[in-house]
Each structure stands twice: as C-alpha cells, then as structure tokens.
Amino acid sequence: MTAGLDITSAMTLAKAQPVQTPQATANAAAAKKASQQFESVFITEFLGQMFADIPTDGPFGGGDGEQMFRSLMLDQYGQQIEKQGGFGLAGPVAAQLLKLQEQQHQ
C-alpha cells in the first residue's frame, strides 16, 4: 500500500463521519467558543488553499511526511492565528448565533 492510498482512505473515512447538529444555547460563553472554533476552521481552510500548490518534494521539502501531516500543521496555524485575534469573524458570528437563537425561542 502506498502513502497516497493511506492518505486518501483516511480522508474518505474522515469525510464519512456524521455532521453534528448544533445545539441551541443562550449561553454566551458557549456561543463564543463555537464562533472561535468556526473562525479557526475558516482560517485553516484559507491556509489550506494557500499551501495547496506548494510542493513537498525537492531538496528542502518534507516529502511524504510533510504531505501527510500538513493538514495538522495548518490546523495548528489556524488555531494560533485565531487565538491572536484571527480575521475578526468570531465576535460577529457569536452575536449572530445568540440573536438567531433568541428569535427561535420567542
């Protein structure tokens, strides 16, 4: 089995996991945490597009190891960027979550 097939089967398995339905909450802390996680994922996807065409081979590339673990590295980059203020999405997303949930409970 080649490394490319291992990565493909792992990605297929990850994509096959059921999506969890968001739970309504009036808790501002929970909404803030969810919005920060959303922003972190958004930043990670943004970075993924930036890194997509950077080759992992050559004298300074990490080869198969870099290709395999790049998504984990980008996930950590996304989390750290979000912790340092991110793109400014978390605040408005949290406010919108709370607003929509208040409307649903009326």
What is the end-to-end Cα distance of the chain in Å, rounded?
Answer: 56
Per-residue confidence band for 5, with pLDDT thresholds at 50, 70 and 90: low
Residue 34 near residue 88 (C-beta atoms within 8 A): no
Could you read off the pLDDT of 33-77 as tens digits, one per residue?
A: 999 999 999 999 999 999 988 888 878 777 888 888 999 999 999
Report which DSSP code applies to 19. Answer: P
Provide the whole-model pTM: 0.67
